[in-house]
Amino acid sequence: MRPLQGIKVVTFEHAIAAPFCTRQLADLGARVIKIERPGTGDFARHYDERVRGLASHFVWTNRSKESITLDVKQPVAMKVIHALLADADVFVQNLAPGATQRLGLDFANLSARFPKLIACDISGYGLDGPYRDKKAYDLLIQSESGFLSITGSEDRPAKAGCSIADIAAGMYGYTNILAALIERGRTGKGKHIDVSMLESMVEWMSYPLYYSIDDQPAPERAGAAHATIFPYGPFPAGDGNTVMLGLQNEREWKRFCDIVIARPELAQDERFSSNSRRTVHREALARIIVDAFSACQAQEVIERLEKAGIANAHMNDMHAVWKHPQLDARGRWTRVTTAAGDVPALYPPGMSADDAPRMDAVPALGEHTVSILHELGYDERAIEQMRSAAAI
């Protein structure tokens, strides 16, 4: 018995934020029915062809779902949508601003018809306010939220390498839906959830926001290093590989001087006697560290850091992550089916094979259209009429 077994989710979704939200509901056992445009479907299906001809984003965010194609401009298709919603628990959408209102699928209309329905709207800026109708993509929200202002090198901002704003919004959609299901269990009533990518990212930006409160200088862009803690970040070793390390307190600083770089006198150097002073003199200290590491291979540096009890990491590329020994040792990989064959997939964090997370196939476009229509009572003649009218 999975936690969300018996929960039905209907979704108008594309790209990343809403699909990532609903995929996690599916992981927990919810039935997720994804409504897609006939012929093209979710445009994330066509972002690339890296997973044996399928799109990497789509494979990641859409396993364990059912796909039905419907042309929402046709009344017969809207009739199907209302039939799907009649016994649904959750409705999720991240269409263009105003789209669900035009379809009569906004919360005001839905709650009048389906009072127990939980409706989650995921958008760039929220359902009201002066930015309501602005288009919003991940990079644009990274910019609006201030993320780009503190990320990158001194002379050039850099975006996150993954869809961080979409992921943030998807996570808040997911957790709010779980909370709403618990609340509905007490009240019997549905709920409206309004998640914006901007607010999700600004929440994640709260440390730099507070750091720069009352017009104080914001953290400076420091590449892969930490803007306000030093040494904390990447350092080259003598074999050309890079080691990541991070010091958190003065005890660690002393051990770093004694054990890692064999310069115990630096622990008494006034330039480096506190984190604030080390940050001010980071260039001088960085030269000392790089010089000390130049005679060592990266693995030797890591062994010294481990001996000193100082946090460290390899700077892995994607190929190394696929082969990460910790993930293998913990049995974190399984396989899911796609139209292009089985592919590896990571178990949801916090869940293991013993929890039986739902790890079903990534659906082909419209793969479940006929079976869902049969379930709703449509016979072959009605389905063929809908197909002839391009309603499905």
Residue 56 domain-assigned (yes or no): yes
Provide the domain limits for residue 264: 232-315
CA–CA gap between residue 189 and residue 339 (Å, rounded): 39
pLDDT over 70, % of the chain: 100
Asked if 305 and 373 sit in the same domain, the reply is: no
Asked if 238 and 151 sit in the same domain, the reply is: no
**For residue 313, pLDDT beyond 90:** yes
**For residue 182, pLDDT beyond 90:** yes
pLDDT over 90, % of the chain: 93
Asked if 236 and 261 sit in the same domain, the reply is: yes
Residue 128 domain-assigned (yes or no): yes
Asked if 258 and 195 sit in the same domain, the reply is: no
Residue 216 domain-assigned (yes or no): no
Q: What mean pLDDT is predicted for residues 189-216?
A: 96
CATH code: domain of residue 174: 3.40.50.10540
Give the pLDDT of residue 223: 87
* Whole-Å CA distances, 196 to 97, 132, 260: 12, 10, 45
Asked if 185 and 242 sit in the same domain, the reply is: no
Find the helix packing angle between 197-204 and 164-187, rounded to 10°.
Answer: 100
Asked if 198 and 264 sit in the same domain, the reply is: no
The pLDDT tens digits for 270-282 are: 999 999 999 999 9
Give the pLDDT of residue 225: 87
Asked if 278 and 367 sit in the same domain, the reply is: no
**DSSP letter for each residue of 56-89:** HHHHHH-TTEEEEE--TTSHHHHHHHHHHHTT-S
Residue 2 domain-assigned (yes or no): no
Q: Which among 315, 348, 376 is the end of a domain?
A: 315
Q: Which among 315, 340, 355 is the end of a domain?
A: 315
Residue 377 domain-assigned (yes or no): yes
Asked if 354 and 272 sit in the same domain, the reply is: no
- What pTM value is reported for the model? 0.91
CA–CA gap between residue 9 and residue 33 (Å, rounded): 6
Residue 118 phi, psi (nearest 5): -95, 120
pLDDT category, 1, cuts 50, 70, 90? confident
* Whole-Å CA distances, 242 to 55, 87, 290, 293, 295: 31, 54, 11, 10, 13
Asked if 170 and 38 sit in the same domain, the reply is: yes
Residue 333 phi, psi (nearest 5): -105, 140
Residue 215 domain-assigned (yes or no): no
Asked if 29 and 82 sit in the same domain, the reply is: yes
**For residue 55, pLDDT beyond 90:** yes
Q: What is the number of domains present in the chain? A: 2
Give the pLDDT of residue 76: 96
CA–CA gap between residue 193 and residue 299 (Å, rounded): 48
Give the pLDDT of residue 352: 85
CA–CA gap between residue 327 and residue 331 (Å, rounded): 6
Give the pLDDT of residue 176: 98
**For residue 140, pLDDT beyond 90:** yes
Asked if 242 and 335 sit in the same domain, the reply is: no
| Residue from 108, 103, 140, 117 nearest 12 by CA | 103
The pLDDT tens digits for 61-70 are: 999 999 999 9
Residue 223 domain-assigned (yes or no): no
Largest CA-CA distance found in the chain, in angstroms, rounded: 86
Asked if 125 and 161 sit in the same domain, the reply is: yes
Q: What mean pLDDT is predicted for residues 227-247?
A: 93
Instruction: Write b or e for each residue in 96-122: b if 16 or more Cβ atoms lie within 10 A of its Cβ, otherwise e.
Output: ebeebeebebbbeebbeebeebbbbbb
**For residue 137, pLDDT beyond 90:** yes
Q: What mean pLDDT is predicted for residues 177-182?
A: 98
Q: What mean pLDDT is predicted for residues 91-115?
A: 94
